[in-house]
Structure 1
Amino acid sequence: MIALSLAEVAAATRGRLADCTGTDPAALVTSVVIDSRQAAPGALFVALPGERADGHDFAATAVGAGAVAVLAARPVGVPAVIVTDPAVGLAALAASARDRWAATVVGVTGSAGKTTTKDLLADLLSGLGPTVAAHGSFNNEIGLPLTMLRAEPDTRFVVLEMGARGIGHIAALCALARPHVGLVLNVGSAHVGEYANGRRGIATAKGELAEAASDLVVLNADDPLVASMATRAKAEVVTFGSREAAAVRAEAIEVDGTGRAAFDLLAAGERHRLRLGLVGGHQVANALGAAAVAIGLGLAPADAAAALERARPRSRWRMEVTTSPGGVVVLNDAYNANPESMRAALAALLDIRGEGRAWAVLGPMGELGGEAEEAHQALGRLVAELGVPRLVAVGDGARGVHEAAGAATGWEGESIWVPGVDEALTYLAGRVRPGDVVLVKASRSFGLERVAAGLAAGGGAGRSGRRDGAVGAGIEGTEYRWNTVGHSGEPDTRG
């Protein structure tokens, strides 16, 4: 972060200092946190209200841990900058910081793959200079300014993930971030229940990034709704995909027995063969999008291919592969779910099962509105169509998955419905065996990652398996709310 004095923080947020007797207005703020447990000397603690607790209640704790002051909506008995709304104040502080650094801002959006692609971009762009990228899925009006505030004077690139649950959300984020580059990955069904016009409404929202980017717009040529955003762009447009007309494209795609894809990267008249370290054939599109941005910003195609090959997962619960002490392979993709990401995850499951048995442990997909019942039934039919041999549907919302799979003509697999996470883990613990591959996937709010953790630990507490994928990266999430003790944000991802 570019250090600001406490007086400069007050000026940037249009706030007033309170309870600052003995605190020097020139004292420097060198970090901004929304979790009192992360407060350290030099921090500014933003006291956000939440569903079950209020950040203001932890102001003294934060200052006691060394925070310079608190950004608060009311006096809290410790040094504070008082503003009308701490979230609005946080955004104003980020906007002030944006004026102080000259980094190229890259915005990434899409219904699926945003976080993985953002992580890939961080790997690729770091080859050109110091790069700051969002932690986890920091992609809304809280997470995005927190990422912006991490930029230093020498930062060359700032990679921002942008999510939305409605038209105008991304436009508001863009007004704050002022992106030079905009990357739109796809338009799917994530959070479709929040949009009056279904997928076309989602396309309208995602296209706000294409309209806002000042220098370069990167679009998926394989997605018609994304490709059509070229007409909304005011900057140069570059496309990626498998179509011959795409400027950056993939040919000769192959997926091996570990679920990792190899392909030829074609860009700028060059061809480079590479194999991704990420699981799932769908990662090819994410890699192409990241490569198109990086090449557009000056990275040589050969260097882009090499960086993609070196890249490994950074964010938790997204195609995270763990092998339990008993030899069960757990594919934890429980961070979020929509019809498109479910299809991709099931394909990955079948790619990596080898000689073992494949299990699909599927929970509900959230925020599908009136399409929810049909979407879950369609998922059950897809399980049968792909020939997934074992299905465990978890929770009331996933009952339709179980019923539709069982009713599918010709499917010879087995399906069971269980009411919750504990029942799923109990059922699986007594049946999985060495060599089995278990996919665990649902919308984040359902908490199905506990099944994955239990299986990875060997079916019981106190043991940990070997993790072949990502490790955690801080507090993840986007739509802010407080946990039961009121210290920190919990994930609730925007699409």
Structure 2
Amino acid sequence: MIELSYSEIAAAMAGTLIVAAGETGETLVSGEAQTDSREVQPGQLFFARRGEGTDGHLFAGKAVRAGAALLIVERELGAADLGFADAASPVSQIVVADTTAALGALATLVVHRLRERGALTIVGITGSNGKTTTKNLVAAMAETLGPTVASEKSFNNEVGGPITMLRTTAETETLVAEMGASATGEIARLTAMAQPHIGVVLSVGLAHAGEFGGIEATFRAKSEMVKSLDASGVAVLNRDDPRVVQMAELTPARVLWFGQHPEADVRATDIESSAAGTTFTIHHGDETRAVRFHVLGEHHVMNALAAAAIGLTLGLSLDAVVDVLEAATLAAPGRMQVLGGRDGITIINDAYNASPDSMSAAIRTLAQIKKPAGRTVAVLGAMTELGSLTIEEHLRIGLQVVRLGIGQLVVVGRDARHLHISAINEGSWDGESAFFETQDEAFAYLTETLRADDTVLVKSSNSAGLQALGDRLGEAYV
């Protein structure tokens, strides 16, 4: 974070400053922000958020003992509240009405100051699928140009977004911010904190459709990204997604298209998938390059194209962009992560998250990379946050598994049972679909029945927890 005084921070979040002994309103702090006391390091700010299951105020004392320089709280905490015997708190505090809102207010102050200096370029990335993969690729490209801050993990909401923004310093040249949403208005709030110079929309799909209230509501929410751009900005849009194409009419920014469509400014042809990754030819203007992209799954080519469009906008040459793409080996942990290897058995752990679009794409990849002597095995769990579409979409994926000729379907968890029912109803399977309520049961079945050269896909929404099963299978077949 840039260096700020306690008084400046309190003013930004409309809070009341209570200074500890030996400090004043002019005391300076530049540490990062944390909402988890376990992550606090000396000199950082601790925001005591109230969650559904806990209250950050209960862990403020732990944050102080870890070295927190300043507490942002919703009620003044005395020494006893913090677990100290002294009469007064050993750390200064700012009392605010809402610590989550205060976190966003501070992020807004810091990013706007850096933006006004003209040295910081902000990239905002949203879409129903592919945000984290694209963010990681863009960050790798930006780092070749200078100091870069990018969202960690999937820090893309009202908490993770500001925490990422508050990692910027006076030396930061590029901020790559993943901006997710589960309701209308959330992306607008994030873009108000960090007004992007480059705004990216990857897709409009069914991820979180249940929370949004349908695909049209998802479209409106994702459109908030391009609406936040001014005439000097660049909107990087998916030319292959009809709903994203409509967003070109909603932004004053210059539009840069990516995709396989002939009209895309950055496009791919000659796409071929294998167990080693994907090869394709990238085109930009009159330039053409062959790319060996080691990230598994043809659907990740679109993420690579989006990242390439951003990298070119940042000033990289096409050769430099290709160098970064070819150096990437993993989209992110739990995303098409190749594990195992013993007896030729390959485990693809793609259970970090799932939507109908990403589930369908992963199953197509599984069918494409089948080894001649082995089977394809799909280990699938529930896709969440689909609302009224839940049953319909699980039934559709079950049909796809059968129609693509996947050799074995293993469905895990009661919420995913419609996948199993759909596969059975589709046709003449005799035991090719198995259902288990627990991961332990599925693991036991798989370790008893997997054969040499089998290729296994493990896929579910994060809340279904199958990433742990994928990791467990990977360890079993090392």
Do they superpose with TM above 0.5?
yes
Change (3 A) 1:76 1:429: farther
Choose from 145, 156, 160 the match for 2:177.
Answer: 160
Q: Which moved more, 1:401-410 or 1:224-233?
A: 401-410
Q: Which one-letter code corresponds to 1:202 in the other structure?
A: T
Q: Which moved more, 1:309-318 or 1:230-239?
A: 309-318
Give, in whole Å, the separation in 1 of the partners of 2:33 and 2:453: 45
Q: Which moved more, 1:323-332 or 1:263-272?
A: 323-332
Which residues in structure 2 correspond to 1:10-25 (within 5 Å)?
10-18=10-18, 20-25=20-25
Matched, 1:209 2:235: no
Aligned twin of 1:119:
136
Give, in whole Å, the separation in 2 of the partners of 1:314 and 1:289: 14
Give, in whole Å, the separation in 1 of the partners of 2:351 and 2:179: 20
Aligned twin of 2:351:
334
Which residues in structure 2 correspond to 1:286-297 (within 5 Å)?
286-297=303-314
Which digits, 9 at most, give the CA deviation of each residue in 1:224-250, with x for residues without a partner? 100111000111011111111111100
Give, in whole Å, the separation in 1 of the partners of 2:453 and 2:52: 43
Secondary structure, aligned partner of 2:101: helix
Secondary structure, aligned partner of 2:329: coil
Structure with greater helix percent: 2
Matched, 1:390 2:391: no
Q: Which one-letter code corresponds to 2:228 in the other structure?
A: A
Deviation at 1:343, TM superposition (A): 1.0
Aligned twin of 1:200:
216
Matched, 1:83 2:78: no
Give, in whole Å, the separation in 2 of the partners of 1:110 and 1:356: 35
Which residues in structure 2 correspond to 1:357-376 (within 5 Å)?
357-376=375-394
Which residues in structure 2 correspond to 1:79-478 (within 5 Å)?
79=91, 80-102=93-115, 103-196=120-213, 198-214=214-230, 215-258=233-276, 260-313=277-330, 315-323=332-340, 328-354=345-371, 355-409=373-427, 414-458=432-476, 465=478
Give, in whole Å, the separation in 2 of the partners of 1:315 and 1:358: 23
Deviation at 1:271, TM superposition (A): 0.1
Q: Is the 8 A contact 2:273 2:369 kept in 1?
A: no
Q: Which moved more, 1:274-283 or 1:166-175?
A: 166-175
Q: Which one-letter code corresponds to 1:312 in the other structure?
A: T
Give 5+ residue unaligned stretches, structure 1: 460-464, 466-495
Which digits, 9 at most, give the CA deviation of each residue in 1:319-378, with x for residues without a partner? 112126665322111111111100111122233332332211111111111111111110
Give, in whole Å, the separation in 2 of the partners of 1:398 and 1:314: 25
Which digits, 9 at most, give the CA deviation of each residue in 1:66-116, with x for residues without a partner? 111211111222422111111011001101101221311111111110110
Aligned twin of 1:64:
65
Secondary structure, aligned partner of 2:449: coil
Change (3 A) 1:167 1:27: closer
Aligned residues: CA RMSD? 1.8
Aligned twin of 1:33:
34
State TM-score, norm by structure 1. 0.89
Deviation at 1:408, TM superposition (A): 1.4
Give, in whole Å, the separation in 1 of the partners of 2:227 and 2:104: 21
Q: Is the 8 A contact 1:378 1:404 kept in 2?
A: yes
Q: Which one-letter code corresponds to 2:7 in the other structure?
A: A
Identity of aligned residues (%): 43
Q: Which one-letter code corresponds to 2:43 in the other structure?
A: G
Deviation at 1:200, TM superposition (A): 1.8
Give, in whole Å, the separation in 2 of the partners of 1:8 and 1:201: 38
Secondary structure, aligned partner of 1:101: helix
Deviation at 1:297, TM superposition (A): 2.4
Which digits, 9 at most, give the CA deviation of each residue in 1:301-325, with x for residues without a partner? 1211121111233632111121266
Deviation at 1:257, TM superposition (A): 3.2
Give 5+ residue unaligned stretches, structure 2: 79-88
Task: Tell me: higher relative CO, structure 1 or 2? Use CA pairs within 8 A at least 6 residues apart.
Answer: 1
Secondary structure, aligned partner of 2:294: strand
State TM-score, norm by structure 2. 0.92
**Residue-pair matches, total:** 458
Aligned twin of 1:5:
5
Change (3 A) 1:411 1:128: farther
Q: Which one-letter code corresponds to 1:300 in the other structure?
A: S
Deviation at 1:387, TM superposition (A): 0.8
Q: Which one-letter code corresponds to 1:431 in the other structure?
A: T
Deviation at 1:127, TM superposition (A): 2.2
Q: Is the 8 A contact 1:108 1:184 kept in 2?
A: yes
Q: Is the 8 A contact 1:325 1:457 kept in 2?
A: no
Q: Which one-letter code corresponds to 1:369 in the other structure?
A: G
Deviation at 1:296, TM superposition (A): 1.9
Q: Is the 8 A contact 2:340 2:473 kept in 1?
A: no
